[in-house]
Structure 1
Amino acid sequence: MNTLNLADGYKVDHRNQYPEGTELVYSNWTPRKSRIPGVDKVTFFGLQYFIKKYLQEDFDRNFFNKPKQEVVAEYRRRINAYLGPDAITFEHVEALHDLGYLPVEIKALPEGTRVPLRTAMFTIKNTLPQFFWVTNFLETILSCVIWMPCTSATISLEYRKILNQYAIETGGDMEFVPFQGHDFSFRGMAGLEAAMMSGAGHLLNFTGTDTIPAIDFLEEYYNADATKEMIGASVPATEHSVMCMGTELDEIETFKRLINETYPTGIVSIVSDTWDFWKVITEYVPQLKEQILVRDGKVVIRPDSGDPIKIICGDPEAEVGTPEYKGAVECLYETFGGTISETGYKLLDQHIGLIYGDSITLERCQQICENLKQKGFASTNVVFGIGSFTYQYVTRDTFGFAMKATYGEVNGQGREIFKDPKTDDGTKKSARGLLGIYKDANGNLEMKDRADYETEAGGELKTVYKDGQLLVEMSLAEIRDLQAQEVAMDLTQEESI
């Protein structure tokens, strides 16, 4: 596909709508609001992928490296059929192809930075005056691609903060926490690219994933190497078809075969609610206790339906003493026992575990950890499968992302431009002029608009792409380090409060 087609239709002729003499369009990408309670900072992630994939790979392969006559003819055919014959002229396309690269400069914060709301993550401007139109022509594809990895990375960090906090409070193994949040979202995402981008955002804060393409994504675009570092991992696990094929009457035999023959060592996860989850927990698993305890590894029980809070922690409205009343963790502890953490909470024997991966949300994760704590159990007794209910049930508006022009130059004269609709609640009010991003005395990011060029140049935004060249590359390891620092900072602030 001709890369120039990756734009909203109304973008096609904006070049002729700007004032005559326009030479510069300067825009920024900013999260303007939060629809998730308590989240007032958004993780910046995905720009390096966008630059490599679209500004370099796609533009080179599908535009610059094709014959000019061919790409211009393709574009003319598309637009003439779309807007009508001769609705626009195409000399700007020819000029861009002759140039051979995208004449824009992108200045950005380091990826992995948590950015306060209404603070720009990056800016973009044209580097040659005749190509002023390119800046905002790129808005559509840029917005389409970048909002999701930023959103998923932000949400995954919120999960990590919850799980870190409760692991510390209940004495869980902190080295286990990176595996405690497991990405189950692949099948529910809006296409393969969404699954990869979102899955990569998840892996900034966790190492548990079933989204294998996200690992390839991070190796391809973020300099990761699965032979040298832990990018993402999982364990052998069953699905309902496996259990069904073994038949309901022989379900316990399927368990035996899996833990003794198919996977005699290591971790194996077995879906356990195909028919009667509580029967599995209170009859089958106790019968297999000795076989499980002598294994060199862990058997992970996976409920997959019902209210996750009640299934894991127990239902206070159920009949007292029943499995439903106790919940899965308590039932397993009664069978297998375990140890007591340094902070006084029960830890299941290392040979048995639990994972729940249906309809988990931040609120449910928090509630499950809190309920377990109230019952005297460590939070690390459970792994959370985080699926598309979390990562797809979001939009660009979850954090109000927008790319807006705030400065331009016409005939050599600078113009501070902004929008402030009277019919809006203030969300869409933009900054104006050049932007300077800097850190205050406490290391917090702040933004100054209406800045001069010196202030804009001296801030935290650094040029990462200019005139077709990627100038700064970050690795997964570097981004994860930034995220870890953010988590540590939050924990320190909460302890001081």
Structure 2
Amino acid sequence: MKHNLILNTDSYKASHYLQYPSGSEYVSSYIECRGGQFPEAVFFGLQAFVKEYLLQPISTADIAAAETLLHQHGLPFHRAGWEHIVAAHGGLLPLEISAVAEGTPVPSHNVMLQMVNTCPACFWLTSYMETALLRAIWYPTTVATQSREIKKRIAGFLRETADNLEGLPFKLHDFGARGATSQESAMLGGMAHLVNFQGTDTVAGLVAARRFYAADMAGHSIPAAEHCTMTAWGREREVDAYANMLDRFAGPGKTLAVVSDSYDLWHAIENLWGGKLRSRVVNTGGTLVLRPDSGDPVAIVTESLERLMRIFGFCENTRGYRVLPDFIRVIQGDGVSRHSIPKILQAMKERKISADNITFGMGGELLQKLDRDVMNFAMKASAIRINGHWQPIYKDPVTDPEKKSKRGRLALTVDDRGKLYTVAATALGGRNNLLRPVFRNGTLLISTNFAEIRHLARIDQ
């Protein structure tokens, strides 16, 4: 489906071409996160946006359709401007976008991306693209950032309670597809999570990573039960439902997950998995992952683990924490968030239970319960060239100092301690500018792959 990029904007943008000073030639804008709930942001999503929206030309049919709609909407329309883009630039947007490498953690209050028009007749185009570009960046960047922050927390508990961090890439599994607002949201958010972890049930994220970042297979999953496939057997045949899962999916080197709270979780653990099916669980040669799926997450997880350890035994690792046998583990997929995960792991730690015993499945909290204000993302114009002279532009509202914007053409560089910081482009001197031209006039200048992004976003282990 072809996108009409002219309509990928806010209504009020349509009148802005009439609002600039006479002699305007170039407008330069930038994106930053102005603080919020995380100290740094994992920049991600630009290449996906460029490939999806900016490599195809605007057509005269797009112009006609946009003009009709916006006039009916009560707005002026810059037909001459868009026709110039078709006539002079083949319909490709005369813009240059420079950005930090995707996957880079950028401290808050720093420029991540800068965009400027390359044709003086299109001075109005930079800010016209704000709506589409800012949305394309803030959402996947926020998902990738939150996912990475959770990874840090889980890694911390593994360092304290486990022998190693080998299981970390699969400790947070994406359950968020059904809770996303759209297929595109699931694609972008699911892909953003995979920057940090390798477990997912969001197929759209795999498709996006392959399509936009050349990832042959960015994530993995296992056969798993849902309540429907368990309750279809009826309560009186619950054990048969579980046995069928073992028949179908268990075996040496194999892993399967079974939701076990359809009726009575404790009965399922004590009398079915730990009773009638105990020998089969012990001797599969693979791993059964039980999913308790209702109740208070902290209480349910710790009690489930205690009961499983009493039934199936445990060993103590080198740090003195208890670990279930390799053939059984737990995944918690209900009530999971960046706030509840540390609480669950802390409760486990206090009971001398290793974080090795558990994996988390995160749904709406991972892909949906986020907005632009989580990290206070903004795109602002910072410089304009009028009649051949660049001058800084900015906002500095007395009623909200946090919204003060940056001035002039910008650069991102690194100090002697390795810390990223923003400077005026004119003050860069001989330092390296980490904002690299990525897109210019309809061409993707730098193509990055998923492995490179993951490498930049890695955490110290």
TM-score interval, smaller chain: over 0.9
CA-CA distance at 1:104 after TM superposition: 0.8
SS at match of 1:362: coil
Quote the offset at 1:140 in angstroms. 0.6
Q: Measure the CA separation in 2 of the matches of 1:429 and 1:6.
A: 27
- What is the SS of the residue equivalent to 1:83? coil
* Count of equivalent residues: 455
Deviation at 1:139, TM superposition (A): 0.4
How many angstroms apart in 1 are the aligned matches of 2:430 and 2:363?
Answer: 40
1:494 is matched with none
Q: Which residue identity does 2:445 align to in structure 1?
A: L
Residue 282 of structure 1: which of 240, 248, 270 is its match? 270
Q: 2:63 — aligned with what?
A: 72
Q: 1:279 & 1:419 partners in 2: Cα distance?
A: 63
Residue of structure 1 equivalent to 2:434: 460
Matched with 2:45 is 46
Alpha-carbon distance change, 259 to 349 in structure 1, aligned in 2, over 3 angstroms = same
Alpha-carbon distance in structure 2 between the residues aligned to 1:104 and 1:455: 25
From 409, 412, 426, the equivalent of 1:437 is 412
Give 1:479's aligned residue: 453
1:361 aligned partner: 337
Aligned-residue offset at 1:434: 1.5
Measured at CA, do residues 458 and 173 of structure 1 come closer, stay the same or move farther in structure 2, by a change above 3 Å? closer
Q: Could you tell me how far apart the structure 1 residues matched to 2:363 and 2:210 are?
A: 22
- Supply the distance in 2 between the matched residues of 1:455 and 1:105 (Cα, whole angstroms): 22
Secondary structure class of the residue paired with 1:12: helix
Q: Given the alignment of the two structures, is residue 301 of structure 1 paired with residue 300 of structure 2, yes or no? A: no
**1:436 CA displacement:** 2.1
Aligned pairs for 1:14-163 within 5 A:
14-34=16-36, 36=37, 39-56=38-55, 59-60=56-57, 63=58, 66=59, 68=60, 70-83=61-74, 87-98=76-87, 99-100=89-90, 101-163=92-154
Do the aligned partners of 2:159 and 2:165 also contact (CA within 8 Å) in 1?
A: yes
SS in 2 for 1:249: helix
SS state at 1:452 partner: helix
Q: TM-score, normalised by structure 2?
A: 0.95
TM-superposed CA distance for 1:13, in Å, is: 2.2
Q: Which residue of 2 aligns with 1:318?
A: none
Residue 323 of structure 1 aligns with which residue? none
Provide, for residues 265-289 of structure 1, a one-character-per-residue CA deviation record: whole Å limited to 9, x for no partner: 5211111111111111122121121
Determine if contact 1:436/1:457 at 8 Å carries over to the other structure: no
Which among 226, 233, 249 is matched to residue 239 of structure 1? 226
SS of equivalent to 1:431: coil
Structure 2 unmatched ranges of 5 or more: none
Change (3 A) 1:205 1:454: closer
In structure 1, how many angstroms separate the alpha carbons of the residues matched to 2:291 and 2:232? 18
Matched position secondary structure for 1:255: helix
Provide the rounded CA distance (Å) in 2 between the counterparts of 1:173 and 1:350. Answer: 15
Would the alpha carbon gap of residues 387 and 275 (structure 1) be closer, same or farther in structure 2, given more than 3 Å must change?
A: same
The DSSP-based 3-state class of the residue aligned with 2:410 is: strand
Q: Could you tell me whether the CA contact under 8 Å between 1:338 and 1:350 is conserved in 2? A: no
Counterparts of 1:89 and 1:242, CA distance in 2: 56
Q: 2:257 — aligned with what?
A: 269
Shift of 1:339: 2.2
- What residue is the counterpart of 1:427 in the other structure? 402
Question: SS at the partner of 1:28?
Answer: strand
Please state how far the C-alpha of 1:89 moved relative to its aligned partner: 4.7
The alpha carbon displacement at 1:370 in A equals 1.4
Alpha-carbon contact 2:249-2:255 (below 8 Å) kept: no
Structure 1 gaps of 5+ residues are 314-326, 492-497
Per-residue deviation at 1:458?
Answer: 4.3
Contact 1:437-1:456 at 8 Å conserved across structures: no
Is the contact between residue 438 and residue 446 of structure 1 (CA under 8 Å) also seen in structure 2?
yes
- Aligned residue for 1:309, secondary structure, equals helix
Counterpart of 2:21 in structure 1: which amino acid?
Answer: P
Which runs of structure 1 show a deviation greater than 4 angstroms over 4 or more consecutive aligned residues? 453-458
Letter in 2 for 1:340: E
**Structure 1 residue matching 2:412: 3-state secondary structure:** strand
**CA shift in 2, pair 1:141/1:258, >3 Å:** same
Query: What is the DSSP-based 3-state SS (H/G/I as helix, E as strand, rest coil) of the residue aligned with 1:335?
Result: helix
- 2:334 is paired with a residue whose SS is coil
Q: What displacement does 1:421 show?
A: 0.9
Task: Read off the aligned partner of 1:469 and give its amino acid letter.
Answer: T
Of the structure 1 ranges 114-123 and 455-464, higher mean CA displacement relative to structure 2 is found in 455-464
Q: Distance in 1 between matches of 2:450 and 2:223?
A: 25
Q: CA contact under 8 A between 1:437 and 1:459: conserved in structure 2? A: yes
User: The residue matched to 2:247 in structure 1 has which SS?
Assistant: helix
Does residue 311 (structure 1) correspond to residue 311 (structure 2)? The answer is no
Q: Check if 1:349 corresponds to 2:325.
A: yes
Matched to 1:269, the amino acid is A
User: Once the 2 structures are TM-superposed, how far is the Cα of residue 79 of structure 1 from its aligned partner?
Assistant: 1.9
Aligned CA distance change for structure 1 residues 24 and 235 (closer, same or farther; 3 Å): same
Deviation at 1:439, TM superposition (A): 0.5
Q: CA deviation at 1:88?
A: 4.1
Q: Compared with structure 1, are the counterparts of its residues 349 and 206 closer, same or farther at alpha carbon in structure 2 (3 Å cutoff)?
A: same
Query: What are the Cα deviations for residues 176-212 of structure 1, in whole angstroms up to 9, with x where unaligned?
Result: 1111110000000111111111111110111000001
Q: Pick one of 378, 382, 406 that aligns with 1:402.
A: 378
The 1:255/1:168 distance shift into structure 2, 3 A limit, reads same
Matched, 1:166 2:154: no
The 1-side partners of 2:363 and 2:62 are apart by 41
Q: Deviations over 1:107-138 (max 9, x none)?
A: 11111111111101110001111111111111
Deviation for aligned residue 1:260: 3.0
Residue 367 to residue 71, structure 1, CA distance change in 2 (3 Å)? closer
Check 1:193–1:455 CA distance in 2 against 1; reply closer, same or farther (3 A cut): farther
Q: Which residue number corresponds to residue 201 of structure 1?
A: 192
| The one of 364, 377, 388 aligned to 2:364 | 388
Cα distance in structure 1, aligned partners of 2:113 and 2:154:
30
